[in-house]
Amino acid sequence: MGLDILTERGQQTLADLEAGVQLFLAKNPKFNYVATPPGKPAAVDAVLTKKGEVFAVVETKCRYSMSLLQLRGRFNNEWLVTMSKLTTAADVARNMCVPLYGFLYLVDDDVLCTQRIAEADGTFCVPLRCDVTTTQATCNGGSASRANAYIDMSKCTVFENGSRPRRN
């Protein structure tokens, strides 16, 4: 069975993620975003580097048909990420002695929300809750019942095309 990112829809998601990353890099030119190989089942999505050193581990996600207003209202400022993915990423960050950040790209709004999720010692530093729910399995659809983290995004940094980043 192939990886979902290798499908046509997966490739679109990859292109959309790149657009979100570019919003961050435009405002933070001293950083580099180094993605893990998209065709491989890596434990994390990327690392941020600065001055030739790893600065942070990054979990990235695209959300379609969700505006910033909907994230704030309908979704109660919570970003859903599979709990096992989050704990694995926090563990990788801990082993690298760097924090874990989340990059949530809201495609329809062309908005990137960034949130520090875990400290360099692996402890979560943002409110989150875990609940077993049924959600879309992958970018290609399907459904899966699993433990999901709901990360508080009420204090995330928002990057919008053509504007300065703002704290919410």
Reported as a single tens digit per residue, the pLDDT across 146-156 is 799 999 999 99
Supply the CATH number for residue 35's domain: 3.40.1350.10
Question: How many domains is the chain partitioned into structurally?
Answer: 1
Q: Is residue 165's pLDDT more than 90?
A: no
Reported as a single tens digit per residue, the pLDDT across 49-93 is 999 999 999 999 999 989 999 999 999 999 999 999 999 999 999
Q: How confident is the model at residue 35 (pLDDT cuts 50, 70, 90)?
A: very high
Which residue range forms the structural domain that includes residue 143? 4-167
Query: Is residue 135 classed as helix, strand or coil in its secondary structure?
Result: strand
User: What is the predicted pLDDT for the residue at 133?
Assistant: 81
Within 8 A by CB and 6+ apart from 81, the residues are: 59, 61, 102, 148, 149, 151
Q: Is residue 3's pLDDT more than 70?
A: no
Residues in the chain: 168
Q: Is residue 38's pLDDT more than 90?
A: no
User: What is the predicted pLDDT for the residue at 13?
Assistant: 82
